[in-house]
Amino acid sequence: MSLSKKLSEIAASPTLALNSKAKDLSAKGVDVVNFTAGEPDFDTPDFIKEAAMEAIRSGFTKYTAAPGMPELREAIAKKLRHENGLDYPGSQIVVSCGGKHSLYNVFQALCNPGDEVIVPTPFWVSYSEQVKLCSSKPVFVGTREENGFRLLAEDLEKRVSSKTKAILLNSPCNPTGAVIDRKELKKIASIAVENGIYVVSDEIYEYLVYEGEHVSIASLGDEIRERTITVNGASKAYSMTGWRIGWAAGPADVMKMIGNFQSHTTSNPASISQKAYLAALNGPRDSIHRMRDEFRKRRDLIVTRLNEARPISCIKPHGSFYVFPNVSACLTGGIRDSMSFSRKLLEEARVAVVPGSAFGGEGHVRISYACSKETIEKGIDRIVDFLKKRS
């Protein structure tokens, strides 16, 4: 008997798969430098863990409202007001099981079969697959390395068609670290408003901006706010990847639909995780700033070291915790593409990176610097040796 055609076209997430592969090798005693992990290496702050333990002790272990506890939705509304210049009632916010789940819900609510969603490349692996799961089509718009991989409104505009339902934005970006500035966001907002297109703005790396500022596109005026769904979550801000908390905020009709959909699929995200995230939002922000300062130092280190590893070249990204170095000059002598480069690097130098092709960015690899400075030094030393042996 044949299985689902739609799901048979979806492969496992390459970022998650490669991270597990590197972890399995380490568990078997292989000394691997793992640059694939898309999660902060810091521990979840203690006051957040304590709130979760208190939730368990006090018996807060039952279903909550399907779109999330009202108290938590209000705390997110407050965060959006204070930090992002966005005014939403809690009823226009839905809390889900991670930002990935929130994005899935949003695409399900927006898209009909045949619709198009514009996705800037290089892009995070799950966007295209989630759009395909709606029987819709991801339409890619390229960005350029010489422009810091920042999306240009004029390039985006060329991809708009009568079928365009939404534009996906991810600033700061995974995998390039690009941050879209206010001026460009204003132009993008005008394109969305003029053409009646939704914007899905994935702002999960909002705190990790090292140059410039983070701007929520929905804050740029009432018209764009009415057609934007802002997605964010606990994973990167508070080093809470395993707790599975994400959320979306947007127009009332879209969010109502998402709430209904979630009530039939996952129900609420874990009650204990919700309490933990509530404590995070109501607590001090110093852990966020500490992590950002540390990531900035690591970024500076890794960019300097990678540019010494000739013929690799690496631009300095403005945000997130990834670099996306250009390895095209290394694609010689039996190494055809970023996939075979990454495979050889793992086999011969025991350094795990994600091939750029997974993100629609052939000729590059993604390196996560969510690891210690010692790990960065060790990994780049190995890459330098690997390249020397091949030259």
Report which DSSP code applies to 113: T
Considering CB distances under 5 to 8 angstroms, the limit depending on partner class, which of ligand PMP, ligand GLU, none binds residue 16?
Answer: ligand GLU
For ligand PMP, which residue of 120, 233, 259, 379 counts as binding (CB under 6 A)? Answer: 233
Report which DSSP code applies to 319: B
**x/- site string to ligand PMP, residues 5 to 44, per CB under 6 A?**
---------------------------------x------
Q: CB 178 → ligand PMP: shortest distance, Å? A: 12
For ligand GLU, which residue of 38, 68, 250, 269 counts as binding (CB under 6 A)? Answer: 38
Considering CB distances under 5 to 8 angstroms, the limit depending on partner class, which of ligand GLU, ligand PMP, none binds residue 233?
Answer: ligand PMP
Report the 10 Å Cβ neighbour count for 372: 12
What is residue 34's three-state secondary structure?
strand
Does 103 participate in binding ligand GLU (rule CB under 6 A)? no
The DSSP bridge pattern shows strands 93-96 and 246-249 to be antiparallel
Q: Measured between alpha carbons, how far is 68 from 71 in angstroms, rounded to an integer? A: 8
Q: Measured between alpha carbons, how far is 156 from 208 in angstroms, rounded to an integer? A: 25
CB within 8 Å of 360: residues ≥ 6 apart:
121, 122, 123, 128, 140
CA distances for 233 relative to 75, 117, 207, 237, 363, angstroms: 13, 22, 11, 7, 31
For ligand GLU, which residue of 125, 173, 199, 220 counts as binding (CB under 6 A)? Answer: 125
Token reading at 346: 């793992």
Token reading at 186: 């204003």
**x/- site string to ligand GLU, residues 4 to 23, per CB under 6 A?**
---------x-xx-------
**x/- site string to ligand PMP, residues 143 to 182, per CB under 6 A?**
---------------------------x---x--------
Q: Measured between alpha carbons, how far is 32 from 46 in angstroms, rounded to an integer? A: 29
Considering CB distances under 5 to 8 angstroms, the limit depending on partner class, which of ligand PMP, ligand GLU, none binds residue 246?
Answer: ligand PMP
For ligand PMP, which residue of 246, 251, 355, 361 counts as binding (CB under 6 A)? Answer: 246
Does 259 participate in binding ligand PMP (rule CB under 6 A)? no
Token reading at 81: 């007001």
Closest CA to 362 of 328, 335, 386: 328
Q: Measured between alpha carbons, how far is 228 from 257 in angstroms, rounded to an integer? A: 15
Considering CB distances under 5 to 8 angstroms, the limit depending on partner class, which of ligand PMP, ligand GLU, none binds residue 375?
Answer: none
What is the contact surface with ligand PMP in residues (CB under 6 A)? 38, 98-100, 124, 170, 174, 202, 204, 233, 235, 241, 246
**Residues in the site for ligand GLU, rule: CB under 6 A?**
13, 15-16, 38-39, 100, 124-126, 174
